[in-house]
Amino acid sequence: MAADAQLLGRVTYQGFAKAWPSMQDPTGFADKMNSMPKYVVSATLTEPSWNNTTVITLAEAGKLKDRYQGDILVAGSGQLVRGLTGLGLVDEYRLMVFPRVLGTGKRLFDGAARINLKLADVTRIGPDGVTIQRYKPAGAWRGPGLRTPPG
């Protein structure tokens, strides 16, 4: 993992904080997850338990791009991604796509500001058609339902 820091929503953070501190693996991935700086966007979390964790506001999240030269990882955290998208703070979306139709579930971009995306890369990672798709923002949405990001 090439990320310099993690940015998490409260719900994702609480799940990660329960699982990752006790994980170990021979590749060092768990050590990286546990040692890297973590930032949680939350109005309710006050005392994070996972080491190297700081609680911030969504407005403060934009300042992280100035602090770190490398990637800032956002894993899951749909509500946070929608907020970051609305503020124009997402440089790249990496979506792991599993070729299954479930019929129900949460939609990642429900309620997000509308933007155009440009496909940057597709990597097939298994025999079942699982792919990692990388998208970059490609400018303002010109379709119906335009919402102007705050600021």
Q: What CATH number should be reported for the domain holding residue 21?
A: 3.40.430.10
Residue by residue, pLDDT tens for the chain (151 residues) are 678 999 999 999 999 999 999 999 999 999 999 999 999 999 999 999 999 999 999 999 989 989 998 899 998 888 898 889 888 889 999 999 999 888 888 777 787 778 899 999 999 998 999 999 999 998 765 544 444 444 4
Whether 150 is covered by a domain: the verdict is: no
- The domain tally of the chain equals 1
* DSSP for residue 28: S
Whether 147 is covered by a domain: the verdict is: no
Whether 149 is covered by a domain: the verdict is: no
Distances in Å between the Cα of 66 and the Cα atoms of 32, 63, 85, 149 are: 21, 6, 17, 20
Length of the chain: 151
Domain containing 132: what range? 5-140
